[in-house]
Chain A
Amino acid sequence: DVKVTQSSRYLVKRTGEKVFLECVQDMDHENMFWYRQDPGLGLRLIYFSYDVKMKEKGDIPEGYSVSREKKERFSLILESASTNQTSMYLCASSFGGTHPYEQYFGPGTRLTVT
């Protein structure tokens, strides 16, 4: 079974703090993704990576950065957390290759910024 794990299920941070969300997958997937999920808005892509040290902006990258130093690990960084970044954050991974594959999701991190 594919396993995608996220470092925390729940996180509470203060405005202005630097926040790190970690994601690890164990299936040697090339692609990794970070989304945020808000009620009524579905999932919105923040950043994705299709190879080590590679990153691509998604639909809502402002206020976020990412790091992928190893194939199995993809980190999301909130440089200076703000209250409008309170959300559920979901990490996913998938195979790369010649056609789109399904993504496998972690359980999510519910981040509250106060």
Chain B
Amino acid sequence: AQSVTQLDSHVSVSEGTPVLLRCNYSSSYSPSLFWYVQHPNKGLQLLLKYTSAATLVKGINGFEAEFKKSETSFHLTKPSAHMSDAAEYFCVVSAGNSGNTPLVFGKGTRLSVIA
């Protein structure tokens, strides 16, 4: 079965410093991978997605993620954190490789940004 592991439940960074949120996946085929963000009391918003094209994926708000097959990782990064980045982030893998399969969510990483 496909799964994702978010290696940190909570990450705290200072404003202006880099962000790294770590995600490892397990999949028996070439996966589709996603990162979602959830701000307090808001719905989930797609940050970026990987679907077997370029391994470095750029998303919204300056975030990017790199697909590394050899390491089974899909870490999310941002060069410089902003206060508005404080939120919960979810790494997600497709449960199958067709359009009729659900997504499998990690347990989330809460990002705190300190002024």
- A and B assemble together: yes
User: A residues within 8 Å of B by Cβ?
Assistant: 4, 30-31, 33, 35, 40-45, 48, 50, 58, 90, 92, 94-108
Cβ contact of B100, chosen from A40, A41, A92, A96, cutoff 8 A: A96
Q: Is the CB of B99 within 8 A of A96?
A: yes
The chain B residue with its CB closest to the CB of A48 is B102
Cβ contact of B97, chosen from A31, A41, A99, cutoff 8 A: A99
Q: Is the CB of B99 within 8 A of A97?
A: yes
**Interface residues of B, dominant DSSP:** loop
Cβ contact of A42, chosen from B42, B45, B97, B108, cutoff 8 A: B108
The chain A residue with its CB closest to the CB of B94 is A100
The chain A residue with its CB closest to the CB of B96 is A100
Q: Is the CB of B43 within 8 A of A31?
A: no
The chain A residue with its CB closest to the CB of B45 is A105
Cβ contact of A100, chosen from B43, B90, B97, cutoff 8 A: B97
- In the docked arrangement, what's the CA distance between A8 and B3, Å? 31
- In the docked arrangement, what's the CA distance between A102 and B97, Å? 13
Cβ contact of A50, chosen from B100, B103, B104, cutoff 8 A: B100
Q: What's the nearest-Cβ distance from chain A to residue B41, in Å?
A: 9
Bitwise, B23-60 to A at CB < 8 A (1) or not (0) is 00000000010101000001111100101000000000
- In the docked arrangement, what's the CA distance between A108 and B99, Å? 24
Q: Is the CB of A105 within 8 A of B107?
A: no
Q: Is the CB of B105 within 8 A of A107?
A: no
The chain A residue with its CB closest to the CB of B36 is A105
Enumerate B62-115 residues with CB–CB distance to A below 8 Å.
Answer: 90, 94, 96-108
